[in-house]
Structure 1
Amino acid sequence: MAGILLGFTIFSIFVEVARMRSVWMSSFFERWLKFMMREDEAVGKITGATWVFVGAFLTVLLVIPKKYAILGLIFLSVGDTMAALVGMGFPMVRIGQKTLSGTLAGLAACCIAGKALGLDVSDFVIISGAAVAMIVELIPLPINDNVSIPLSAGLAMAVIGGSAV
């Protein structure tokens, strides 16, 4: 699995470099993909999709047992998305660029998704990992949250669950 993710990560990095250096590739992104990009990504910053591959690769590589890596990646997918949707749609109590309403919605979504997977993980570990994921999503870190959320949540669950790497 890590090998496949490494391949996708390397490919997406090549695409990013091409996007930044090739007029043709830059024009392609501008015409067909700009609607999905954030403002800073459209002007040359690395896209969230590439950071997702980097985060997934590092999480699968470093988090053992893999059930915690899976949960960390689910928390990124579900929690970060829910936090953004609720935070933008129903902004309550701003905390920097984020909202408490988004964070709490993300926490709830992580807990529900984590439990729904049916993995052999205690409720306490799922809730703890979800809390770490949403705290990391909330605070402004220098590393992209597509890397920091799954990695920190997965590692926290491995430590709390008694299977530290």
Structure 2
Amino acid sequence: MEYKHEILRKLIHYGSTIFPLCYLYFFTRVEMLFLLGGFVLIMIVLEILRMYLPFFTHIYEVIFSKIVRVEESETFTGATYSFLGAFIAILIFEKEVAIFAMLILSLSDSTAALVGRKWGSISLLGKSVQGTVTFLTVSITIALLVPGIPRIEAITAAIFTTVVELVPSPVNDNLLIPISAGITLSLMRLFT
């Protein structure tokens, strides 16, 4: 995928920051679950239509072909996993933890991908060191800014989530990142 298309793809990911912000300032947990649950259901239906009905496949390719990765042609796209990851985070974690986890997915992962693609020159486990350092830096910044979370716990969760993101996994990172961030932060809060 060309870098300019990667930028467009990541702008969509940055746009998903609206969900943790809405959860922080406007909506209750139940309202967010209904909102994101609706998005997840719509996305799954659209994904199934796209994968199995040629008419929808054609429409999808015309509209989104520049920003969808080749490996997503026969599986769910990153957007669907992002909605699902946010839904799961809100479902299973305390409010502050879910907000932290969703912001890491929206901001850290997207920024790391752009930096890694543009300036990544040193590879580590299939990722660029520059992208990984960016992921960690943005995650620590989020840890320092999200209200209601002790900083040492949030920073520890940011570091652990960076390691999880770095290690290759068969699980889509749009699911893995918010869940690992949330679990780590929840465990830190439980034992400190």
> TM-score of the superposition, structure 1-length normalised?
0.91
Q: What is the CA-CA distance between 1:163 and the residue it aligns to?
A: 7.6
Alignment partner, residue 39 of structure 1: 70
Distance 1:23 1:116, change over 3 A: same
**Any unmatched runs of 5+ in structure 1?**
none
Instruction: Could you list the structure 1 runs, at least 4 aligned residues long, displaced by more than 4 angstroms after superposition.
Output: none
| 1:109 aligned onto 2:138 | yes
Question: Contact 1:136 / 1:145 at 8 angstroms: preserved in 2?
Answer: no
Alignment partner, residue 69 of structure 1: 98
| 1:29 aligned onto 2:30 | no
CA distance in 2, matches of 1:12, 1:143: 18
CA distance in 2, matches of 1:158, 1:81: 23
Question: Contact 2:153 / 2:185 at 8 angstroms: preserved in 1?
Answer: yes
1:44 match: secondary structure:
coil
> TM-score of the superposition, structure 2-length normalised?
0.79
2:169 match: secondary structure:
coil
Alignment partner, residue 78 of structure 2: 48
Q: Output the aligned Cα RMSD.
A: 1.6
2:75 match: secondary structure:
coil
Larger relative contact order (CA 8 Å, sep ≥ 6): 1
| 1:98 aligned onto 2:144 | no
CA distance in 2, matches of 1:104, 1:83: 8
Alignment partner, residue 176 of structure 2: 148
Q: Counterpart of 1:88 in structure 2: which amino acid?
A: R
| 1:80 aligned onto 2:80 | no
Distance 1:96 1:161, change over 3 A: same
1:110-149 equivalences under 5 Å are 110-117=139-146, 119-149=147-177
Among all aligned residue pairs of Structure 1 and Structure 2, give the percentage whose two residues are the same amino acid.
31
CA distance in 1, matches of 2:99, 2:138: 15
CA distance in 2, matches of 1:77, 1:96: 22
Alignment partner, residue 88 of structure 2: 58
CA distance in 2, matches of 1:157, 1:77: 17
**Any unmatched runs of 5+ in structure 2?**
1-31
CA distance in 1, matches of 2:39, 2:149: 29
Q: What is the CA-CA distance between 1:144 and the residue it aligns to?
A: 0.6
Alignment partner, residue 42 of structure 2: 11
Question: Contact 1:51 / 1:147 at 8 angstroms: preserved in 2?
Answer: yes
Residue by residue over 1:29-55, the C-alpha shift from the partner in whole angstroms, topping out at 9 and shown as x without a partner, is 1111111111112x3221000001111
Range with greater deviation from structure 2 (84-93 or 21-30):
84-93
CA distance in 1, matches of 2:85, 2:69: 18
Alignment partner, residue 89 of structure 1: 118
Q: Counterpart of 1:134 in structure 2: which amino acid?
A: T
